[in-house]
Amino acid sequence: MKKVIALFLSMLIFSGVVAAQDLSVITAIWAPYDMEENGKLVGIGTEIVQATLEKAGINAEIKIYPFARALKMAENEPNTLLFTVVKSPEREPLFTWIGPIVPPVRIVMHKLKKRTDIVVNSLEDAKKYTIETTRASVGHQYLLKEGFKDGVELDPANSNQQSVKNFFGERVDLEVSAELNFMYEAKQQGFSVDDTEIAYVLFENEAYMVFSKQTPDDIVKKVKTAFEEVKAEGLMDAAVTKYLNLYQ
């Protein structure tokens, strides 16, 4: 009987290890939260997730995808962890959320200062102009919900980098993105943020790591416990200070 129990317990432990090893961990480039520098994945969200997985005993390779694809993968594929994701009412029921893992993210509309003809006091005002944003981003989803249309007011790009480039290239009137991401991408591409100003603030929400709904509860609980330990040790505050000092 003891041998049977021991065998059963060993099978449970082994199955847990296999499940953890099979976990797909994915992200998208979204500086300063998740980005590549010198061939290495870094950023506020990335450091927190890496520390959390290490503490949870999960050794998984982090793979990078365009955000729209990564979001679909996390929505539809089992055993999938995606970061860093801004929470919204539309997204909330689709995933299991752990966090927040970064400071609140402010989503804003930028315009060029020289465009004194652009005045946005409401979303209705914004519908008079063409707007660049990143496909499937929380800003893009928000504007679609508010009645904006792709190919009419909206010109969604496939990456944050392309969205910012198109805006400074004056292909559009406005650009919608996370405030810190806009600042970082502009700097990286040699554009001056001093030439821009915030035309309108859409909202501010927190951002998380998310599991697909088809991920086993034991893995989710293990990662959640590890995250709470990482936060208690001050690693989250240290990562925030490090990157915000560099990229603001």
How far are the Cα atoms of 50, 95, 125, 163 from residue 172, in angstroms, in the given order?
A: 37, 33, 15, 10
Residue 184 is part of which domain span? 105-205
Q: Is the pLDDT of residue 137 over 70?
A: yes
Please state, in angstroms and rounded to a whole number, the distance separating the CA atoms of residues 185 and 160: 8
Mark whether 67 and 110 lie in a shared domain.
no
- Structure confidence at residue 10 (pLDDT): 44
Amino acid identity of 244? L
Amino acid identity of 149? K
Closest CA to 138 of 37, 59, 68: 68
Total domains in the chain come to 2
Helix/strand/coil for 39: coil
- Strand ranges in 113-190 using DSSP code E only, listed in sequence order: 131-134, 154-157, 174-178
Mark whether 183 and 62 lie in a shared domain.
no
If you ran DSSP here, which 8-state letter would residue 193 be given? G
What is the H or E stretch that residue 26 is in? strand 24-27
Mark whether 78 and 20 lie in a shared domain.
yes
Please state, in angstroms and rounded to a whole number, the distance separating the CA atoms of residues 59 and 93: 28
Report the CATH number that the domain containing residue 189 is assigned in CATH.
3.40.190.10
Q: pLDDT tens for residues 67-107?
A: 999 999 999 999 999 999 999 999 999 999 999 999 999 99
Q: Is the pLDDT of residue 22 over 90?
A: no
How far are the Cα atoms of 148, 182, 188, 219 from residue 185, in angstroms, in the given order?
A: 25, 5, 5, 35
pLDDT band at 246 (very low <50, low <70, confident <90, very high): low
Mark whether 216 and 132 lie in a shared domain.
no
Q: Is the pLDDT of residue 166 over 50?
A: yes
What is the H or E stretch that residue 40 is in? strand 40-42
Please give the average per-residue pLDDT across 166-177, as a whole number: 98
Q: Is the pLDDT of residue 221 over 70?
A: yes
Give the lowest-confidence range in 13-22, 108-117, 186-195, 216-225. Answer: 13-22
Please state, in angstroms and rounded to a whole number, the distance separating the CA atoms of residues 144 and 172: 17
Please give the average per-residue pLDDT across 195-205, as a whole number: 98
Distance of CA 237 to the CA centre of its chain: 18
Mark whether 130 and 195 lie in a shared domain.
yes
Residue with the two structure tokens 């989250």: 236
Mark whether 141 and 167 lie in a shared domain.
yes
Please give the average per-residue pLDDT across 147-171, as a whole number: 97
Tell me what percent of the residues of the chain surpass a pLDDT of 90: 85
Mark whether 95 and 113 lie in a shared domain.
no
